[in-house]
Structure 1
Amino acid sequence: MTGFAQLLDQLPLRFLLASAGCLAAGLGVWGATALLRRLPGVALQRSTWLLGQATVLACFLVILLPHSERLRLVPPIDVADMAPSRAAAPQGPTARPAVGGAPAAAVPGADPASWLTLVAQAWLLAYLLGFGHAVLRLLLARRMLDSLAATGSRLPCPGQPARAPVVIEVDAPISPMLFGLLKPRLLLPQHLRGFDAAQQQLIVEHELMHWRRRDLQWLSVGIVLQTLLWFNPFMRMLRSSLSWAQELGCDRDVLRSRSPAQRKAYAAALVAQLRLQHATPKTALAFGGVCASTLAARIALIREPSPAHPRRARVVRILAIAALACVFAASLAFQPALARRSAPTATQAPFSCTVMVDAASGEQLAREGHCDERVTPASTFNIPVALMGFDSGILKDARAPVLPFKTGYPSYNASWRADTDPSSWLQNSVLWYAQQVTTGLGAARFHEYVQRFDYGNRDVGGDPGKDNGTTQSWVGSSLRISPLEQVSFLRKVANRDLPLSAHAYDMTTRIMPKRTLANGWEVVGKTGTAPGLGRDGNDDATRQYGWYVGWAKKGQRTVVFARLVLDAKQESAMGGARAREAMLRQLTARLDVL
């Protein structure tokens, strides 16, 4: 399974975590802005509320999208992969073979995280339905406004700029309102004629002030952000505060330098309009677009406006940005994350896989067994490490550099406790030598190579909280790959399709272990051995993964292959050696007839 397919598998659960994370972020943003609201002038700052919405959305996306988790402080949530193949039934001698090598059906109740999977899938469906409903409501509101405008009559508006909103009078109990992002229109109810001339002038000026301040653009962004996260009540609260700031800002600008009598007339018009109007669609800016509970506060500000302090406004804006940045930083540090590990209940049953692909055409020549299970690459990862080392210049040739063994290096095998060069490294799978190569590359360049190779799940983060991805990610840790992905990678190596130097390809092929079969095929391959996983996610000494991957070449034809076995541990032979011998027997018998 490709990395994209893996991402799709985990999308429902990651979406559920992102939704929960954005709710927490919304609470943090609302709490921060509530504290700032105590400062003079905060209610007038449109940017505070719009940036608050943007911060909540950013916190949602940072959990949802693939990203580096080095800043995370909380441990990851260890869950089973969500694809059906991850919960496949055992495929051993007693299990019924799956057609075409596909995994058998899942055993009901075998996956302890299945209930969470179902909840996540149900929530994703509910989100899509809710999002569709929210978009439909916006479209219906816009259609209603368009229809209402079509029933009215256009009024002349002398002295206004060429691009000023079209003024339309309608016979409907609405508030004077401005709508239309690209083609703004100002709807005026006929009952406005009953107001005195000064009130009419101030009301129209209020709506035109919205247009001059580009409040329609601010409103549109706020509505889009609220619609994307329609389930988050804090997004609605922040958007309402944005509308409140827009109305207060217009009141302030319209009434600047006005007499107390004009202010009183303006407040009276606001009260009168509220009694006459129907509900205002959220897609429009309305003179009376406030509820009765906030009317008194708005009138108080109209009668006794706060003096303008540009310097204080800048300080408030800086404080707001700093507070929102702190909330976002906290979401990075405490975001929930997934530990991408296959379900132990599925992987611990014995299984095997054999995949063979024609390197030139990509034709799948054989696929037998459970072949899309992602497991640790173990020492097969020495192939990409060798390519990285020779491409970067850290490795020179088959005999250089020679690195001395040092106390503290991994020394599980006697052959590892000796000076090692590239040839002996690959022959003996010397872990510490590979670690010296990856350490020399550095975390950033190592990560870049793995991404360019599109190797397995491309996760080189290592063990959570240990910062050991550069040296341990491929050793039973975060990096995982399936047999199908192994042959996809090896096909690129065999065809030299990766962005590497010719020297890297030549030297890697030269130092890899080789066998010549009786029928003349030359086999270049690498083994890998690693313990299986127990139900608790820890190493299981009674199970062992065995890898053998590489390619066979004869004349102009090249066949890439991967063999993976999970079986009971045998003391007489390592898992990789058993996989190699089984694969060589198959290759000898089958290559000439494929």
Structure 2
Amino acid sequence: MTPTDLLMFRFLLASGGCLAAGLAVWAVMALCRRALPALASQRSAWLLAQVTIVAAFLLILLPHSERLRLVPPIEIESVTQAHPAIAEQAPTSNSTASASSAPGAQTAERSWLALGAHAWLLCYLLGLGYALARLLEARRILNSLAASGGRLRAPHQHDGFIRPLPLDPTVIEIDAPISPMLFGLFKPRLLLPAHLRSFETTQQQMMVEHELTHLRRHDLHWISASILLQTLLWFNPFMRLLRANLSWALELGCDRDVLDGRPAIQRKAYAAALVVQLKLQRSPVTHALAFGAVSAPTLAGRIALIREPGAMPHRRWTRLAALAALASVLTGSLALQPTFAWRGESVPPLPGPAPQASSTPVSPGATTDTISCTELADAASGKRLVHEGQCDERITPASTFNIAVSLMGYDSGILEDEHTPVMPFRKGYVHWNPAWRTATDPSSWLKHSVLWYAQQVASRLGAARFHGYVTSFDYGNRDVSGDPGKDNGLVLSWVSSSLKISPAEQVTFLRKVVNRQLPLAPKAYDMTARIMQPEMLDNGWEIHGKTGTASPVLPDGRDDPDHQYGWYVGWARKGQRTIVFARMALERRQEGFAGGRVKEAFLRDLRTRLGTL
């Protein structure tokens, strides 16, 4: 499963959640409008309704804490192939191996849902292009109408103007069967049909005043924001319905302001002018980019409210009720959104009760599901920040144990600096990874997880001293005896053998490292941190981490050919704050190394987590 597939999954999920949120928002607004008729004229409520749907879309699309989700994950099976047992590789090498994988293998790993997610993205982009093309066409039509008319150099000569123009719009008189119309966000233009002069003076003034009120109330900005949101979520029919209700609210608001304090006779004259205007129009111009169109579906409602001004009260409680209802919908969409979980990839697990610590790893025969853990703690206080998944299950530390070996090596003097000693590769050394078949120094050892280099350091320490260090570190189960009857504890106890540690214990050990609470020389801490080659996240956090990959052991003592443990442990530092972390996943074997995949997934998740912890 590629990072692109994961992004497509999230986009597909966000689109579905957006539709569900749209239905909920529309239902809530319909109920509020029935209980509070004044809501129909509240432009802020309808725009906030659109914003709520967009926010629900973004909350699902953007990475954030899964602890807020209440719906179980949707499991997706990845189609993968088993590969022979392989050793841990550095992140850089893993990226290279992944990049060089055959396209056919990557295609085989994509599930039908991944293909559907890619297809949906293509449909979305095509629909977005079509929606933008329609907006451009609407703008072209309006500009053509404006170009066919003549500009009024002295608007006061028109009977419809009784006060100075606000914001100096361009007034254009056009001989066309349209209604008075305002358009143009940055350069407002007011189109006046020539037949408007045949109306009574009072009717002309009220019709023109209605359009100028749109300008004073900045309604062009409101409708432009609504159109932008509707265009981005063009596939959501509820965005279109809410935009139509916003346009309706803007018209009602201007009617209310224009008719405020006017006598009944003028109100009737205004209603009559709307009826006449509808008859004069051959076909109404209903472009969303413009105000002023009089249409049959809305005319009856406008006239009813014009005759009964008490039906359009301007109440603050109406806004508050709508805002509370929309907030409840947004909260519900965040808490109830589903999420995808796939087998064969490392993903953030859902919160759950932690199992008791055990020195026995999970049985590989029962690993049809992905097992994972995420553990984070504040280095200074020890406060547990995240504890998700099987974080108390002890498994092999694999190459993450190299952090402990580095501390031992620098404290004992076997290791001197980043590049000393350089040890030559010799025949008989383990060389599963081609990068191991060369002379190695401490920096390249940790970068490429060179197993034979760690074995040489441990051998030079000797069994007694090696065991003493592990005991003083209180590292996991502290068992460095190795495989039963093989006397290989000094060189292989940490690789699918006797030494086991849980993610929670990894975090405890790393806290001691960060806080320098182990019985070691200061140089051991300094040099270990230096050869861990820190990485910088774009949010300013410095990451010191180490990956690890190993196979579970089957009951008959063989390595499990179908599964791999992946580790990524270390600490993140920014300013005076340090957070220690451990991510572990048991996943089905696939191309590359589980440790590298776990690291990549965790760092994507960590960028968001660090901003909220």
TM-score by length of 2: 0.58
8 Å contact 1:383–1:526 — kept in the other structure? no
Secondary structure of 2:333's counterpart equals helix
Residue 157 of structure 1 corresponds to 155
Q: Shift in Å at residue 323 of structure 1?
A: 0.8
Q: Shift in Å at residue 196 of structure 1?
A: 1.3
- For 1:26 and 1:297, locate their aligned partners in 2 and report how far apart those are by CA, in whole Å: 25
Q: Shift in Å at residue 386 of structure 1?
A: 7.2
TM-score by length of 1: 0.60
- For 2:252 and 2:265, locate their aligned partners in 1 and report how far apart those are by CA, in whole Å: 19
- Structure 1 residues 413 and 35 mapped into 2: Cα distance closer, same or farther (>3 Å)? farther
- Structure 1 residues 429 and 135 mapped into 2: Cα distance closer, same or farther (>3 Å)? farther
Q: Shift in Å at residue 145 of structure 1?
A: 0.9
- 1:401-420 alignment, distance < 5 Å: 402=472
1:529 is aligned, of 543, 550, 553, to: 550
- 1:319-398 alignment, distance < 5 Å: 319-342=321-344, 379-380=397-398, 382=400
Say whether 1:238 aligns with 2:275: no
Tell me the amino acid that sits aligned with residue 11 of structure 2: F
Say whether 1:137 aligns with 2:142: no
Say whether 1:13 aligns with 2:82: no
Residue 317 of structure 1 corresponds to 319
- Structure 1 residues 439 and 282 mapped into 2: Cα distance closer, same or farther (>3 Å)? farther
8 Å contact 2:148–2:174 — kept in the other structure? yes
1:402-458 CA deviation, whole Å, 9 max, x = no partner?
5769xxxx8696879xxxxxxx997975424x514536999xxxxxx9xxxxxxxxx
- 1:563-582 alignment, distance < 5 Å: none
Tell me the amino acid that sits aligned with residue 120 of structure 2: W
Secondary structure of 1:79's counterpart equals strand
Secondary structure of 2:341's counterpart equals strand
1:35-77 CA deviation, whole Å, 9 max, x = no partner?
1102131111101110000110111111122222110011112
- Structure 1 residues 52 and 380 mapped into 2: Cα distance closer, same or farther (>3 Å)? farther
8 Å contact 2:69–2:337 — kept in the other structure? yes
Q: Shift in Å at residue 204 of structure 1?
A: 0.1
Unaligned runs of 5+ in 2: 86-96, 157-162, 347-364, 366-394, 409-467, 483-491, 515-527, 570-585, 596-613
8 Å contact 1:77–1:339 — kept in the other structure? yes
- For 2:98 and 2:7, locate their aligned partners in 1 and report how far apart those are by CA, in whole Å: 28
1:450-491 CA deviation, whole Å, 9 max, x = no partner?
xxxxxxxxxxxxxxxxxxxxxxxxxxxxxxxxxxxxxxxxx9
Residue 472 of structure 1 corresponds to none
8 Å contact 1:91–1:104 — kept in the other structure? no
Tell me the amino acid that sits aligned with residue 76 of structure 1: P
Say whether 1:25 aligns with 2:21: yes
Say whether 1:167 aligns with 2:163: no
Residue 507 of structure 2 corresponds to 438
Secondary structure of 2:155's counterpart equals coil
- 1:18-417 alignment, distance < 5 Å: 18-38=14-34, 39-80=36-77, 87=79, 102-103=101-102, 105-106=104-105, 114-155=111-152, 156-158=154-156, 159-161=163-165, 163-277=167-281, 278-289=283-294, 291-306=295-310, 313-342=315-344, 379-380=397-398, 382=400, 402=472
Q: Shift in Å at residue 303 of structure 1?
A: 0.5
Secondary structure of 2:67's counterpart equals coil
Secondary structure of 2:255's counterpart equals helix
8 Å contact 2:223–2:247 — kept in the other structure? yes
Aligned residues: 416
Tell me the amino acid that sits aligned with residue 145 of structure 1: L
Unaligned runs of 5+ in 1: 82-86, 349-376, 391-397, 417-423, 443-448, 450-490, 510-524, 534-539, 551-563, 569-574, 577-594
Secondary structure of 1:431's counterpart equals coil
Q: Which moved more, 1:268-277 or 1:182-191?
A: 268-277
- For 1:25 and 1:565, locate their aligned partners in 2 and report how far apart those are by CA, in whole Å: 34
Residue 521 of structure 2 corresponds to none
Residue 496 of structure 1 corresponds to 533
- For 1:532 and 1:214, locate their aligned partners in 2 and report how far apart those are by CA, in whole Å: 70
- For 1:198 and 1:295, locate their aligned partners in 2 and report how far apart those are by CA, in whole Å: 20
Residue 444 of structure 2 corresponds to none
Q: Shift in Å at residue 99 of structure 1?
A: 12
1:245-264 CA deviation, whole Å, 9 max, x = no partner?
00000000000001111101
What is the root-mean-square deviation in Å for CA atoms of aligned residues?
Answer: 4.7
- For 1:566 and 1:164, locate their aligned partners in 2 and report how far apart those are by CA, in whole Å: 68
Q: Shift in Å at residue 497 of structure 1?
A: 3.8
8 Å contact 1:77–1:337 — kept in the other structure? yes
Q: Percent identity?
A: 49
- Structure 1 residues 117 and 308 mapped into 2: Cα distance closer, same or farther (>3 Å)? closer
Residue 537 of structure 1 corresponds to none
Residue 545 of structure 1 corresponds to 564
- For 2:296 and 2:547, locate their aligned partners in 1 and report how far apart those are by CA, in whole Å: 75
Q: Shift in Å at residue 532 of structure 1?
A: 9.6
